[in-house]
């Protein structure tokens, strides 16, 4: 069965596709922001948006490398997960160790999220720098066979380099969100500075004071434009980036189910685990976690709802569909 080799090859192409898509998105954002400042005395200076675009691309490259190298720490902090030692949970370590051996990958780090909702995810740059996290709810709910099915699913994400694609998308999405937030904060700071300095400068009537007032009025206007640009990124750029991030998630879940069964040779364990997850309605205590799109099951908020963007863009195939596919595998065996 060459499904696994095909998946690894697909993920290599998908990595380049995602990187290209984000690069184009960041370039467009940088260019549009530059267009705001390109009108010089009724003349549109095309070099300004080009330089702004190049600056955004350079910033994204530097920031993304930094985030990519530390993506595990970022996602685990966001998920409020703590790293476990073997003495903390010998059975959990034994299961992951056996699966890693069968998958022929290094032993990943193991984390525990203090969350009553049953869930799990894998992350990292590559199999040599990978980690698996499970919630306390998942650990309490499932027996060994069911837990092995879930962990095989997550180890498959590591073996098949799904985690590399996820790490890149997390890095670039956080850059775009951070760029929008930075411009908003900078715009507010400039508007406050221009407003106060312009107000005090306007008390004098000499020419120097008037020139100073005009200068601070210009600062106020510049801050407003920066503020608007930041909100454009937050309202338009961030959702587009999240759509691109979520678009990768759907197919990877179904493929990881099949890959996980190849590791355990027992579809029933994952079937039972997914059935438990389907029937569970425990709300997550951390719906805003950056790793939510990577979870084996869609998280549910305290209001009993799936987070809007996760639901809107179908980041996970329906559990019934995944269970039916695994039952077909079980029938073939």
Residue-wise DSSP of 203-259: T--SHHHHHHHHHHHHHHHHHHHHHHHHHHIIIIIHHHHHHHHHHHHHHHHHHHHHH
Q: Which helix (H) or strand (E) holds 143?
A: none
Q: Which helix (H) or strand (E) holds 44?
A: strand 43-44
Residues 6+ apart with CB under 8 A from 91: 144
Q: Are strands 130-135 and 43-44 parallel, antiparallel or unpaired?
A: unpaired
Q: What is the pLDDT along the chain (333 residues), one digit of tens a residue?
A: 445 566 556 656 766 777 788 888 889 888 888 887 777 667 778 888 899 899 888 988 888 888 888 889 988 998 899 999 999 999 999 999 999 999 999 999 999 999 999 999 999 988 999 999 999 999 999 999 999 999 999 999 999 888 887 777 777 777 888 888 888 888 787 777 655 544 444 455 455 555 566 666 767 777 777 788 788 788 877 777 777 766 666 667 777 888 888 899 888 999 999 999 988 888 888 776 777 778 888 777 665 555 544 444 445 677 888 888 888 866 654
Q: Are the beta carbons of 284 and 161 closer than 8 angstroms?
A: no
DSSP category for residue 116: S
* Active-site residue identified among 154, 298, 321, 332: 154
Q: Is 316 annotated as a binding residue?
A: no
Instruction: For residue 159, give the nearest of 287, 23, 264 by alpha carbon.
Output: 264
Residues 6+ apart with CB under 8 A from 256: 153, 154, 156, 157, 160, 162
Q: Which two tokens stand for residue 37?
A: 């400042």
Q: Is 153 annotated as a binding residue?
A: yes
154 noted as active-site residue:
yes
Q: Could you tell me the pTM of the whole model?
A: 0.74
Q: Is 129 annotated as a binding residue?
A: no
């Amino acid at each position: 069965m060459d499904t696994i080799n095909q998946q690894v090859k697909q993920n290599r192409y998908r990595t380049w596709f995602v990187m290209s898509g984000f690069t184009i998105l960041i370039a467009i954002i940088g260019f549009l922001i530059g267009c705001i400042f390109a009108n010089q005395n009724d003349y549109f200076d095309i070099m300004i948006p080009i330089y702004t675009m190049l600056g955004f691309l350079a910033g994204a490259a530097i920031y993304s490398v930094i985030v990519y190298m530390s993506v595990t720490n970022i996602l685990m902090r966001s998920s409020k997960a703590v790293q476990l030692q073997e003495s903390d949970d010998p059975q959990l370590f034994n299961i992951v160790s056996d699966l890693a051996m069968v998958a022929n990958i290094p032993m990943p780090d193991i984390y525990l999220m203090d969350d009553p909702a049953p869930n799990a995810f894998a992350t990292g740059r590559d199999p040599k720098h990978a980690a698996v996290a499970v919630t306390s709810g998942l650990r309490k709910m499932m027996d060994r066979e069911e837990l092995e099915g879930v962990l095989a699913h997550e180890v498959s994400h590591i073996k098949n380099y799904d985690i590399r694609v996820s790490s890149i998308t997390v890095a670039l999405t956080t850059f775009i969100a951070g760029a929008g937030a930075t411009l908003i904060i900078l715009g507010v700071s400039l508007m406050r500075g221009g407003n106060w300095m312009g107000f005090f400068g306007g008390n004098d009537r000499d020419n120097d004071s008037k020139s100073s007032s005009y200068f601070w009025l210009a600062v106020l206007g510049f801050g407003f434009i920066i503020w608007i640009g930041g909100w454009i990124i937050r309202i338009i750029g961030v959702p587009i980036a999240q759509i691109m991030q979520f678009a990768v998630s759907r197919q990877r879940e179904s493929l990881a189910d099949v890959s996980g069964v190849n590791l355990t040779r027992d579809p029933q364990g994952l079937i039972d685990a997914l059935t438990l997850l389907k029937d569970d309605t425990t709300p997550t205590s951390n719906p805003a976690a950056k790793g939510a799109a990577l979870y084996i099951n869609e998280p549910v908020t305290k209001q009993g709802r799936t987070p809007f963007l996760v639901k809107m863009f179908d980041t996970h195939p329906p559990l019934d569909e995944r269970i039916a596919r695994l039952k077909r595998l079980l029938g073939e065996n």
